[in-house]
Structure 1
C-alpha cells in the first residue's frame, strides 16, 4: 500500500480510502502495523481537529436510534459526522455482528456521514483496540464531529472518556430506584446526561427521571474543567427528534468554554500521554505471547499455577525476575 497516496485520498475526504485506512490500522499483521504507524504519523502532521463525543449507555437505551437522529440533525446543519460504533466480539469465535449500518439505515445513506462498525475483539471497556487511530483518521478526512459509541458494559465509560472531548451518558426513563443503579463515578465522569425516550407514555416519567438526576448532580462538586451549570441532565427523544438541538447547544457551549480556558488542549495532551503508555503496555504483553524463552517461561509458570504447585503471586514474581524486572 502506498502510504502517501492513501494519505492524500484520506485528506481529500475519500470515504473508500478512509475505510481502507481504518482496516489497515485494525490489522494485527506486523507489516500492516508498520504501514499504519507511518500513515498515522503522516496524517497527524496536518493537525486537523474534530469534536470527539463519546456515548455510552446500557443496551436497550436507544443509543443507535439517538445517534442516527442526532447525526442527521448535525448533517442538516452542514456538518460532517463520523460514527465509530463498537460491537462486542464473541469470546468463542471472535466474530461480531457489526449491525450498526443496518440499525442506522437513514444515516448510512447520508453523504456527509460515515459509519464504521468495529469489533471490540475482547478489548476491555467496550471499545475497539484501535479506536484512537480510527478517530485520528476521521479527523484527517475532515469530519467535524466524531461520535464514539461503546457497547455500554464494564469499563466502557472510563475508556470512552479517555479518548473523547465530551462524554455523554444516555439513560432511559425509570422509577426512583434507577438513580441508585448509576454509580457516582460514572456521573462524575459524564459531561452531559441525556434521558432518552422522553415521548409518548414515558414523557412524564422521563421528566421525573431528568429532575432526579439534575438534583443528584447538584450535590456533586463542580469540576475545574467545567463552567457553572455542568454536568447537566436533559431530556431527549430520538423518535420525535426533540431535545436534540438543545443537547447540541449544551455540548458546543461546554466545548467552547473549555477551549477558551485551556482545558480542551490540556485534556487532549493528557489523553495522548495515556495512549502512549497503553501502547507500551500492550507491546510488552504481545512480546510475552511471541515464540521464545519468555513465552516458554509463561507457559511453564502458568502450568505450575494451574496445577497448584505455586501461587499466582510467586509465579508472577518469578516471571518478572526472569525478565530482569524483579
Structure 2
C-alpha cells in the first residue's frame, strides 16, 4: 500500500523552536509569597504614619473588604489613624459624565502639587448592575498626576451603594489624612444620588458644568445647586469660550434665587479649561477663601462634627441591613416569601413585617 501524503493547508504552521522563558519562576514565587503575607495591624499603622503608599493601599483594601474576618483588623487600623487625621481640606467634585471630571482633577491636582500640596484622589468608578464589575480606569486617564510623587490616586468600585459612592470612602479619607495627604479630592460617579453622599463627607462641594449643553436654565436642579459651593464651567477653550461666559452669567443669576447658606458663603461661578489650565488657580483661590471664612465663623468645625454623627448612623443602618440578609433563617424564608409576594398571596408590606418579626425574635 502506498502511504498517502498528508495534505496541509496553506495556513499550516510548522513546529518551531519554543521561545525561552522570559519570566523568572523565582521572581514569580517571591511576588506570590509577598502577596500572601498579610501584614499585622501594627505594621500597617506604622507604614501609614510614615507615608508608605504600599501600606496605605493595603489598608484601604482591608477597609473595603466585605470579609467579616477583616472588619476587626480594619477598625483597629482606622482607630489608630484617627488622632492623625482631620488635617486636610476635603473637596467633592461632581458633574455629569462627559463634563471632564478626570481631566479637570488631573489639571487641578498638578496645580496643587506644584504649590507643595500632597493630594489624594479618591475616584469612585460605577459598577455594572449586571456583571458587578468596574473598569477602574481613572489612573489611566490621569497619566501625569499618577506619576507625581506628591499625589495618590485610588479608584474604587461603587458596588451596590446608593448613587455610586464607594462603601468605605469615609474611612479611606481618614487613612489618607493619616498618611500625610493634606488635600483630598473625591470624584463622584456623576449620576443618581452620589452627590448627596459625597456632600456629607467633604468641606467644599464643586459642581462642574459644560457650556452649550442647553441646561443653563431648565437643567438647574435645585438640590444639586443648593449643595454646590462653587460652579465651574469646564472646557472654556477655543470656540467654547463665548458659550462658557454666557453659561457663567446664567448660573450666577440662578444662584441668587436660592436661600443664603448656613456657612455664610456666597457660591461662586467661574470658567476654566482643564486643557489649557486657564482658570484653575482661581478655583483654588475660591476654595481658600471658603475655608478661611468657615473656620473663622466656626462652621467648618461644626459641619465636620455633624458629618461624624451622620456616618455613625449610616454605619449602623448598613450593619443592620447586612446582618438581616445574612441571618440563616431569613435566607431560608426570603425566597419563598418573594414568590408569595409575586403571586399576590401576601402584600409586600405584610411580607416585610413577617420577615422583620422573625429576625427580631431570633
User: TM-score range with shorter-chain normalisation?
Assistant: over 0.9
1:134-283 to structure 2, matched below 5 A, reads: 134-174=172-212, 177-227=215-265, 230-283=266-319
- Give SS of 1:115's match: strand
Q: Find the aligned partners of 2:62 and 2:328 in 1 and give their Cα distance.
A: 27
Q: Residues 108 and 115 of structure 1 are in contact (CA less than 8 Å); yes or no, is this contact kept in structure 2?
A: yes
1:142-195 Cα shifts (integer Å, max 9, x gaps)? 101000001100002111101111110001002654321131111001111110
- Give SS of 1:320's match: helix
Q: Find the aligned partners of 1:32 and 1:177 in 2 and give their Cα distance.
A: 46
Q: Find the aligned partners of 1:135 and 1:144 in 2 and give their Cα distance.
A: 10
**With structure 1 as the length reference, what TM-score do the two structures score?**
0.96
Structure 1: stretches of 5+ with no match in the other structure:
none
Is 1:311 aligned to residue 347 of structure 2?
Answer: yes
1:57-110 Cα shifts (integer Å, max 9, x gaps)? 000000000000000000000000000001111112221100001000000000
- Residue matched to 1:51: 89
Is 1:102 aligned to residue 140 of structure 2?
Answer: yes
**With structure 2 as the length reference, what TM-score do the two structures score?**
0.86
1:202 to partner: Cα distance: 0.2
- Rg larger in 1 or in 2? 2
Q: Find the aligned partners of 2:198 and 2:226 in 1 and give their Cα distance.
A: 14
Misfit runs of 4+, over 6 Å: none
- Residue matched to 2:22: none
Q: Find the aligned partners of 1:211 and 1:266 in 2 and give their Cα distance.
A: 32
Q: Find the aligned partners of 1:11 and 1:80 in 2 and give their Cα distance.
A: 14
1:104-146 Cα shifts (integer Å, max 9, x gaps)? 0000000000000110012211210111111111111110100
State how many pairs are aligned. Answer: 323
Q: Find the aligned partners of 2:351 and 2:269 in 1 and give their Cα distance.
A: 48
Q: CA RMSD in A?
A: 1.4
1:37 alignment partner, one of 72, 75, 80: 75
Q: Find the aligned partners of 1:290 and 1:186 in 2 and give their Cα distance.
A: 35
Q: Residues 216 and 250 of structure 2 are in contact (CA less than 8 Å); yes or no, is this contact kept in structure 1?
A: no
- Give SS of 1:118's match: strand
Structure 2: stretches of 5+ with no match in the other structure:
1-38
1:22 to partner: Cα distance: 0.7
